[in-house]
Amino acid sequence: MASYSEMTAEQLAEQQAALLVRYNDYKSRELSLDITRGKPGADQLELSMSMLDALNSKSGYTDCNGVDCRNYGGVIGIPEARQLFASVFDVSMDEIIVGGNSSLNMMFDTISSAMGNGLLGGEPWAKQGRVKFLCPCPGYDRHFAICEYFDIEMIPIKNTPTGPDMDEVERLVQSDPLVKGIWCVPKYSNPTGITYSDETVMRFARLKPAAKDFRIFWDNSYFVHHLFGEDVKLLNLLKECEKYGNGNMVYMYFSTSKITFPGAGLAGMATSVENVKAITHRMGIQTIGPDKLNQLRHMKFIKDYDGLLAQMSRHAEIIRPKFLCVLETLEKELEGFDVATWTKPDGGYFISLDTMKGCAKRTYDLCLDAGVKLTKVGATFPYGKDPDDTNIRIAPTFPTLEELELAIEVLCVCVKLAAIEKLLEKAGK
Amino acid sequence: MASYSEMTAEQLAEQQAALLVRYNDYKSRELSLDITRGKPGADQLELSMSMLDALNSKSGYTDCNGVDCRNYGGVIGIPEARQLFASVFDVSMDEIIVGGNSSLNMMFDTISSAMGNGLLGGEPWAKQGRVKFLCPCPGYDRHFAICEYFDIEMIPIKNTPTGPDMDEVERLVQSDPLVKGIWCVPKYSNPTGITYSDETVMRFARLKPAAKDFRIFWDNSYFVHHLFGEDVKLLNLLKECEKYGNGNMVYMYFSTSKITFPGAGLAGMATSVENVKAITHRMGIQTIGPDKLNQLRHMKFIKDYDGLLAQMSRHAEIIRPKFLCVLETLEKELEGFDVATWTKPDGGYFISLDTMKGCAKRTYDLCLDAGVKLTKVGATFPYGKDPDDTNIRIAPTFPTLEELELAIEVLCVCVKLAAIEKLLEKAGK
C-alpha cells in the first residue's frame, strides 16, 4: 500500500471517494458504539461474583488479629490486606495503607492536604504561590482535572517509550521550588501502555528537588494488569528512593478497581513510614476509617498474591482478544498509509493512536457523525489541549468484541478520511 | 439523704471513710472497664448479619434504574437509597447525596472544600482571615478536632435543654462575617441527648448571617435512634430554611453507622439542590464514586422506612436496658447528695453527667486508678477544655450490662469522693 503523503491529489481523491462509500454505509446503519470508557466489561465483573458470597453471616468477621471488622476502629486497613500489598510491592507493611474504594480519592486527598495544610510540617502549598505539576502526556485526564480544580499550573512533559523525558523532569524539578509534583502512571501507562525503564525509575529516585515538599504521584493502577506473555517488571521506586534518602518523595497509589469491582474495590498507598504516619494522623481526624468488611471480603476472595495473579490471568483471557482485535484492525486498515501510529501495550486498559498532525479532532467528529464515540480529543493532555491535535485514546475493554471490531473499522476509515482532507488542503485543493 | 454541701467537715469525713472502703474494694478487684466508646455492642452488630447475605452472586446487582452497581459510574448514590433518605427526612430526592461509609468524612470534605476552594463561588475561607465556628457544648469531640485541624477558631456556645443558646448564636452569626459555621447534633445530641425545640430550629432557619458563606453543620447522627416510647420529632431544618430563602445555609449529615455496621454503613447528606450540584461537581473530580454495591446491599436489607424503623427498635431493645441500668445506678448512688446532675435522654448513644464544679478531672483520675476508663474530661469541649471541669460523657452501649453496672457504681463512688475532697478543701481541711 502506498503512503498517502506520496500520492497525487487525484490519487487521494480516488481513495477518498472509495472511503466515503464505506463511511456512508456505516452512517446509514445508525450505529451507537462507544470506545471511550476504560472500564471492565460485564464478563470481567462476573469473575468476582463469588466474592459477594465469600463474606456472609457464617464466614466470620474478624481480621487476622481478631479485631471485629463490623465495628468502628482503625484507619490504616486490616493487617492481612496490608500484608498482601506489602508483598506485591516488596515494601514493608508499615509502608502500606489500605483505604476506601477509590485511589483517585486518595490522590485528591493528598493534594488537598498539601494545598491546605502542608506536608510533614512544611508550609501549605497554597501559601507558597501558584504551584506547578509536571504532567507527562498523553496522560490520564482525571489527574489533570485534580490539578485544574486546585488551580495548580500544569507543565506538559513529553512521554517517551521509556517514560517521561527525564532531562526535562530533572531540569524543572531541580531548579524550580514551585514544582511540587509529577503525575506518573509508571506501568502499562494510561494511555500509551508503556512501562518506565529501570533507568527512568532510578533517575526519579536520584532527583534532588528544589522543593523539600516535592512529591512523585506514582499511580500504579495497572500493577498486575498484563495481557501478553511475561509481566513487564517495574523497578521499585520506593526502595530506590530510600537508597538516596528520598523515601518521603514518593506516594504510590494502587487499587483493585480493575481486579474485583470498580467502585466496590480496595484502594491503597505505599509510601515512607514517615508519610504513612502523617497521612494516618490526618485520616484519624477525617474519617471513621475504611470499610473493613469489604477489605475482609476481598481477602477471603483473593487470599494471596497467587490468588491475585490467577484472577488477573482470568481478566487477561477476556481482554486479550479485544486488544488483539483492535491491533489487527488497525494494522489491516492503516498499515502502510502513513496516516497514524499506535501503541502495542503489554498490559493496562488502553491503546493510544496518533493520527497525522492536526487530524485527531476531525477524526473524532467524523466518528461521532457515524455513531462511534471516542474519548474527547485533548482529554489526555493538560487543560484538554493536545498541541499537535493527534492523540486518540482507545479503550477496548467495555464493548463486546463485535462492537469493538466495527468501531475500530469506522475509526480507521475516519482516520484516513481526515488525513486525506488534510493532505488535499495542504495541496491547496 | 443529705446534701454533701450541707454537711459538716466531720460528717463529710465519715462519708469519705465509708466510700474509701468501697473504693479500695473496687481497686483490689483489678477491674478493666471502659465506658468511653460510643460504639454498638457485638449483640447489636448481630442484627445486621443477614445483610451480608442479602447481596450475593445470585441476588442481582443492578439498581432500580438497571445500572450495573458493580462498575464505575455515578457519584450521587443509587436512586433507591436516595429515595429512602428523601422520605425519611421529608425532602426531595434532588436534595440527597448518598456517599461512602463515613459522614465524618463528608463533614471534613465540606470544610476542606470551603477552606481551600470556597462555597458556591465565594472566596476560600482560608483567604478570608482566621474563620470561626460556633461550638455548642458539651458537644462531639470529632467535630472540634476537624476545626482544630484546619485552625478554625472555636467559640463555645452554651447548650440548653432546647438546643444552643440562640441569643448568642444570632448575635455572633449576624454580626461577624468570619463566623462561617456552627456544629449541631440536633437530635438525641452527643452527649446530652437533648433534641432541639421547634423554636430553636426556626430561629436557625431565620438567621441572617453576616457571612454569605455561613453554614449550619447539622449532624443528624441519631435521626431514628430513639430508645424510649415515642420518637422525639425534630423540625425539618432544610424545609424551614427554604421558607426564608436560606436553603443553601444547611448541610445535614446522616449515616447508618449505628443502624447497620459502623465502618461498613452508608453516609449521606441532605442540602439544597444548588449545594448538591456544587458538591457532586467536586465529587466528580475527587472520586470514582461511592461503593454502589454496599448501597444495594443496604437497600436489599433495609428495604424501606418501615424496615429502618423495625431495625431501630431491635437496637433499642438491646440498648434500652443499658441506659436504664446507668440511670438507675446514678439515681441510687447519687440522688440527693447534690454532687451531680445527669441527662435522661430519649435516644442516642450517651448520657451526660455533670459533677460539682472542678470535680470531673479528679473523678476521671479516681476512676482510672480503679480500672474504669472514662471519656477524657474536656473532650466534649473545644480545645479539650471544659471551663467548669464538670462534664463526663457516659457511653453505655459497648460494655455488657454487668460490666456497665459495675463501671457506673465505681463512677458514682468516685464522683462522691471527688466532691467530698473539693468540699473539704473549700472548708480548709
Determine the pLDDT at residue A31: 95
pLDDT in tens, A361-391: 999 999 999 999 999 999 999 999 999 999 9
Chain A contact set for B56 (CB, 8 A): 52-53, 56
Please answer yes or no on whether B101 and A285 come within 8 Å at the CB atom: no
Determine the pLDDT at residue B336: 94
Please answer yes or no on whether B108 and A286 come within 8 Å at the CB atom: yes
Same domain? For A297 and A245 the reply is yes
ipTM of the predicted structure? 0.97
Chain A contact set for B112 (CB, 8 A): 112, 116
User: Which residue among A39, A71, A149 places its CB closest to the CB of B71?
Assistant: A39
Interface check B108 vs A, CB under 8 A: yes
The answer to whether residue A69 is domain-embedded is yes
Written as nine digits, the cell of A400 is 463486546
- Report whether pLDDT(A429) > 70: no
Please answer yes or no on whether A261 and B70 come within 8 Å at the CB atom: yes
Interface check A117 vs B, CB under 8 A: yes
Determine the pLDDT at residue A29: 96
Same domain? For B94 and B177 the reply is yes
Same domain? For A124 and A174 the reply is yes
Please answer yes or no on whether A264 and B53 come within 8 Å at the CB atom: no
Here the CATH number for the domain that contains residue B412 is 3.90.1150.10
User: Which residue among B55, B116, B145 places its CB closest to the CB of A115?
Assistant: B116
Q: Which of A219, A283, A287 is the best residue to mutate to test the B interface, defined by the most B CB atoms within 10 Å of its own CB?
A: A287
SS3 A273: helix
The answer to whether residue B53 is domain-embedded is no
| A329-348 average pLDDT score | 97
Instruction: Find the helix or strand (DSSP H, E) in which B351 lies.
Output: strand B351-355
Domain end call among B258, B280, B302: B302
Determine the pLDDT at residue A230: 83
Determine the pLDDT at residue A185: 98
Determine the pLDDT at residue B2: 79
pLDDT in tens, A27-61: 999 999 999 989 999 999 999 999 999 999 999 99
What residues 304-343 of chain A have any CB closer than 8 A to a CB of chain B? none
β-sheet bridge partners, residue A269 = A97, A253
β-sheet bridge partners, residue B155 = B134
User: Which residue among A102, A104, A112 places its CB closest to the CB of B116?
Assistant: A112
Please answer yes or no on whether B293 and A68 come within 8 Å at the CB atom: no
The answer to whether residue B50 is domain-embedded is no
Tell me the pLDDT band of A118, cut-offs 50, 70 and 90. Answer: very high
Domain end call among B271, B302, B333: B302
Chain B contact set for A290 (CB, 8 A): 101, 263
Going by C-alpha positions, the residue among A302, A285, A272 that lies closest to residue A97 is: A272
- Report whether pLDDT(A82) > 80: yes
User: Which residue among A52, A59, A102 places its CB closest to the CB of B57?
Assistant: A52
The answer to whether residue A54 is domain-embedded is no
All residue ranges of chain B with pLDDT < 70 are: 1, 429
Distance CA A297, CA A299 (A): 6
Does residue B388 contact residue B358 with C-beta atoms inside 8 Å?
yes
CA distance A330 to chain B (A): 28
The answer to whether residue B51 is domain-embedded is no
What residues 222-281 of chain A have any CB closer than 8 A to a CB of chain B? 257, 261-264
Same domain? For A27 and A65 the reply is no
User: Which residue among B288, B291, B292 places its CB closest to the CB of A291?
Assistant: B291
Please answer yes or no on whether B289 and A263 come within 8 Å at the CB atom: yes
Measured at the CA of B294, the angle between CA B288 and CA B300, to 5 degrees, comes to: 140
Please answer yes or no on whether B263 and A71 come within 8 Å at the CB atom: yes
Q: Which of B130, B152, B293, B301 is the best residue to mutate to test the A interface, defined by the most A CB atoms within 10 Å of its own CB?
A: B293
CA distance A264 to chain B (A): 5
Chain A contact set for B102 (CB, 8 A): 287-289
Give the Å distances, CA to CA, from B344 to B114, B231, B279, B339: 37, 14, 37, 17
Chain B contact set for A105 (CB, 8 A): 286-288
Tell how far CA A41 is from the center of its chain. 17
Distance CA B245, CA B156 (A): 27
CA distance A286 to chain B (A): 5
Interface check B60 vs A, CB under 8 A: no
- Report whether pLDDT(A66) > 70: yes
**Domain containing residue A334:** 4-44+309-426
Determine the pLDDT at residue B429: 65
Does residue B68 contact residue B282 with C-beta atoms inside 8 Å?
no
Distance CA A11, CA A3 (A): 11
Chain B contact set for A101 (CB, 8 A): 100, 288, 290-291
Number of folded domains in chain B? 2
Distance CA B267, CA B298 (A): 11
β-sheet bridge partners, residue A367 = none
CA distance B288 to chain A (A): 6
Same domain? For A365 and A400 the reply is yes
Same domain? For A331 and A297 the reply is no
Same domain? For B297 and B321 the reply is no
Sequence-ordered strand ranges (E) for A297-398: 340-342, 351-355, 372-373, 391-394
Same domain? For B297 and B409 the reply is no
Here the CATH number for the domain that contains residue B75 is 3.40.640.10
- pTM comes to 0.97
User: What is the DSSP code string of A183-200?
Assistant: EE--SS-TTT-----HHH
What residues 332-391 of chain A have any CB closer than 8 A to a CB of chain B? none
Please answer yes or no on whether B57 and A50 come within 8 Å at the CB atom: yes
CB pairs below 8 Å between A and B: how many?
Answer: 161
Determine the pLDDT at residue B427: 86
Please answer yes or no on whether A287 and B102 come within 8 Å at the CB atom: yes
Chain A contact set for B290 (CB, 8 A): 101, 263
Same domain? For B127 and B268 the reply is yes
Determine the pLDDT at residue B254: 98
Distance CA A390, CA A376 (A): 12
pLDDT in tens, A147-200: 999 999 999 999 999 999 999 999 999 999 999 999 999 999 999 999 999 999
SS in 3 state form for A224-258?
A: CCECCCCCCCCCCHHHHHHHCCCHHHEEEEEECCC
CA distance B8 to chain A (A): 48
CA distance B78 to chain A (A): 12
Determine the pLDDT at residue A1: 59
Computed over every residue of chain A, the mean pLDDT equals 97
CA distance B150 to chain A (A): 7
Interface check B112 vs A, CB under 8 A: yes
Same domain? For A353 and A393 the reply is yes
Same domain? For B220 and B320 the reply is no
Give the Å distances, CA to CA, from A250 to A94, A133, A215: 15, 14, 6
Please answer yes or no on whether B285 and A52 come within 8 Å at the CB atom: no
Domain end call among A268, A302, A336: A302
Q: Exposed, middle or buried: residue A399 (CB in 10 Å: 0-12, 13-18, 19+)?
A: buried
pLDDT in tens, B75-123: 999 999 999 999 999 999 999 999 999 999 999 999 999 999 999 999 9
Distance CA A378, CA A389 (A): 7
Chain A contact set for B149 (CB, 8 A): 117, 282, 285
Give the Å distances, CA to CA, from A329 to A390, B11, B43: 19, 98, 60
The answer to whether residue B52 is domain-embedded is no
Nearest CA in chain B to A149: B285
CA distance A67 to chain B (A): 12
Nearest CA in chain A to B124: A116
User: Which residue among A39, A53, A142 places its CB closest to the CB of B56?
Assistant: A53
What residues 282-301 of chain B have any CB closer than 8 A to a CB of chain A? 282, 285-294
What residues 39-58 of chain B have any CB closer than 8 A to a CB of chain A? 39-40, 42, 45, 48-50, 52-53, 55-57
Same domain? For A23 and A75 the reply is no
Distance CA A156, CA A164 (A): 10
The answer to whether residue A173 is domain-embedded is yes
The answer to whether residue A49 is domain-embedded is no
Please answer yes or no on whether A288 and B257 come within 8 Å at the CB atom: yes
Does residue B18 contact residue B230 with C-beta atoms inside 8 Å?
no
Chain B contact set for A144 (CB, 8 A): none
